[in-house]
Amino acid sequence: MIVEVHAYGIVKDIFKKKSVQVEIQINSTSHLREVLESLYPDLKTLSVYRFAVNEEYVLNDMILKEGDEIAIIPPVSGG
Amino acid sequence: MIVEVHAYGIVKDIFKKKSVQVEIQINSTSHLREVLESLYPDLKTLSVYRFAVNEEYVLNDMILKEGDEIAIIPPVSGG
Amino acid sequence: MTYIEISENPLDVQTCINLVLTPETGGINVFVGSVRNMTNGKKVVRLEFEAYTSMALKEMKKIAASIEKKWPVINIVIHHRTGVLSVGDIPVIIAVSAAHRDAAFSACKFAIDELKEKVPIWKKEIFEDGEEWVSAHP
Amino acid sequence: MTYIEISENPLDVQTCINLVLTPETGGINVFVGSVRNMTNGKKVVRLEFEAYTSMALKEMKKIAASIEKKWPVINIVIHHRTGVLSVGDIPVIIAVSAAHRDAAFSACKFAIDELKEKVPIWKKEIFEDGEEWVSAHP
């Protein structure tokens, strides 16, 4: 399926836009990570990044479904 | 010698004034304590009280001299 | 009560005190963040804060809920500012009221530690000769 | 810098923030005391604070000096109010700025703990049916 991935902070600079649409063969965040890292290798230079699905952190792997709100969360630095 | 002892908080209620003058035979805070407690036995009902001489707490016993600023410090409760 | 807000407007400490102060309050602990003029010896010109606002508000509410389970507090304020901030500007204010001060201190400390670890807000430091998203790279 | 004050006038938290905030400041921790409406289940009508002012100022300065030895802080404010205070009024504000927040939290906590133990200030609680100097009796 095709998913939209929202970007914040440095990931917006890496994507060069606020969100990207990518096609995934397996509907999981671990597969999405592979696809994104092949399209945007600079993601691998980050200290760490997580996914959030529907505004909740993904702790391990997670199955994605149509309509999920997906975001990449690079290291946070609020406060 | 005759010393003036300044009172604060509950000690002002016990002395019924802001300061008292008492005569001491031995010029020490431990003797002053004895004299004050015989004149104002209610001092003995306090949880604890300390002397301050020249605006510094007296830790053990201390020799008193003419012109010292002497105060009784009942349990503090600021803040 | 919990008061959570993310806004582009300047934060106000008196407003936060007024929100948490109740007749049952014995002590309030407040943390006020401030934009520092230097990072690792480099002069900071300004900061830019960006939030994933809807998720950040959720994470901030979780922090408040954790506090209420851990300590006997009365009210909690977490206000975070976004946008462009200069040196001395205030990006965050956290205020916690409690009957007794120890709970207020512990809860406020916990709140800022958790916020810095979990809430999806990012800051970019703009130096005289470049810029950098804080903590992005190892 | 250290800003110590005992006064009959209402205390102001923004004033205290302004005193401690510098361009080097990354975080400020503030403790705001507040007059509670109840003590041991008894309704408090008002409080009366009295200070041995000259000695209290000295003891407050000692607390600030201890802090400066223990933690890398920037500025310290300790403001205490005396006179008649009602429920919700603020008897004390302590504010500490530092480059990093942990020092500010530790120093502020230390300051209020020390103040309550050593600074010669006394409060009398006035209840509906009597009054009592706090902590005077066992």
In angstroms, the CA C38 to CA C44 distance is 5
Does the distance separating the beta carbons of C50 and A8 come in below 8 Å? yes
Chains D and C touch (3+ CB pairs under 8 A): yes
Write phi, then psi, for B51 (nearest 5 degrees).
-100, 150
Residue of C nearest to D35 (CA): C26
Residue A74 has pLDDT above 90, yes or no: yes
Please list every residue in chain A whose beta carbon sits closer than 8 Å to the beta carbon of residue C138: 47
In angstroms, the CA C27 to CA C96 distance is 8
- Count the Cβ atoms, other than its own, within 10 Å of residue B47: 10
Give me the interface pTM, i.e. the ipTM.
0.95
- Quickly tell me which residue has 């035979």 as its tokens: B25
Residue D127, exposed/middle/buried by CB under 10 A (0-12, 13-18, 19+)? middle
- Quickly tell me which residue has 């950040």 as its tokens: C56
The predicted model gives D49-56 an average pLDDT of 98
D52 touches B: beta carbon within 8 Å: yes
Residue D40 has pLDDT above 90, yes or no: no
Does the distance separating the beta carbons of D121 and B78 come in below 8 Å? yes
CA quadruple A23, A28, A31, A33: dihedral sign: positive
Does the distance separating the beta carbons of A10 and C122 come in below 8 Å? yes
Residue C1 has pLDDT above 90, yes or no: yes
Write phi, then psi, for A20 (nearest 5 degrees).
-130, 150
Q: What value does the mean pLDDT of chain A take?
A: 97
Of B8, B55, B79, the CB nearest to D33: B79
Residue of D nearest to C107 (CA): D105
In angstroms, the CA D134 to CA D128 distance is 16
DSSP state letter for A18: S
Question: In chain B, what percentage of residues exceed pLDDT 90?
Answer: 99
Q: What value does the mean pLDDT of chain D take?
A: 97
**Best residue in A55, A59, A69 for a mutation probing chain C (most C CBs within 10 Å):** A55
- Which of the four pLDDT bands, split at 50, 70 and 90, describes residue C88? very high
Look up the pTM and report it.
0.96
Q: What value does the mean pLDDT of chain C take?
A: 97
Residue of C nearest to A73 (CA): C120
Q: Show the CA angle centred on residue B78, arms to residues B75 and C108, nearest 5°.
A: 125
D125 touches B: beta carbon within 8 Å: no
Neighbours of chain B (3+ CB pairs under 8 A): D
Residue B60, exposed/middle/buried by CB under 10 A (0-12, 13-18, 19+)? exposed
C19 sits in which H/E element = helix C13-20
Residue A67 has pLDDT above 90, yes or no: yes
Residue C40 has pLDDT above 90, yes or no: no
Q: What is the pLDDT of residues A56-65, one digit of tens each?
A: 999 999 999 9
Does the distance separating the beta carbons of A47 and C92 come in below 8 Å? no
pLDDT at D28: 98
Strand-pair partners of D70: none
In angstroms, the CA D70 to CA C124 distance is 32
In angstroms, the CA D116 to CA D105 distance is 17
In angstroms, the CA B49 to CA B11 distance is 9
In angstroms, the CA D105 to CA D27 distance is 9
Q: What is the pLDDT of residues C55-87, one digit of tens each?
A: 999 999 999 999 999 999 999 999 999 999 999
With beta carbons less than 8 A apart as the criterion, state whether D13 and D92 touch. no
The predicted model gives C23-38 an average pLDDT of 97
A73 sits in which H/E element = strand A70-73
CA quadruple C33, C39, C41, C43: dihedral sign: negative
pLDDT at B68: 98
Does the distance separating the beta carbons of C101 and D31 come in below 8 Å? yes
Instruction: Looking at the complex, report in whole angstroms how far the Cα of residue A26 sits from the nearest Cα belonging to chain C.
Output: 25
Does the distance separating the beta carbons of D34 and C28 come in below 8 Å? yes
Q: What is the pLDDT of residues D87-105, one digit of tens each?
A: 999 999 999 999 999 999 9
In angstroms, the CA C64 to CA C52 distance is 18
Please list every residue in chain C whose beta carbon sits closer than 8 Å to the beta carbon of residue D18: none
Question: In chain B, what percentage of residues exceed pLDDT 70?
Answer: 100
Of D54, D112, D123, the CB nearest to B77: D123
Please list every residue in chain B whose beta carbon sits closer than 8 Å to the beta carbon of residue D49: 78
Of C27, C36, C37, the CB nearest to D34: C27
Please list every residue in chain D whose beta carbon sits closer than 8 Å to the beta carbon of residue B13: 133
The predicted model gives A39-51 an average pLDDT of 97
DSSP state letter for A26: S
In angstroms, the CA C85 to CA C81 distance is 9
Write phi, then psi, for B68 (nearest 5 degrees).
-60, 140
Q: Read off the tokens for D43.
A: 């309704």
Does the distance separating the beta carbons of A47 and C137 come in below 8 Å? yes
Query: CB neighbours of B51 closer than 8 A, spacing ≥ 6?
Result: B29, B32, B33, B57, B58, B62, B70, B71, B72, B73
Does the distance separating the beta carbons of C123 and A8 come in below 8 Å? no
Mark C101-127 as b/e (b = at least 16 C-beta within 10 Å): bebbbbbbbbbbbbbbebbbbbbbbee
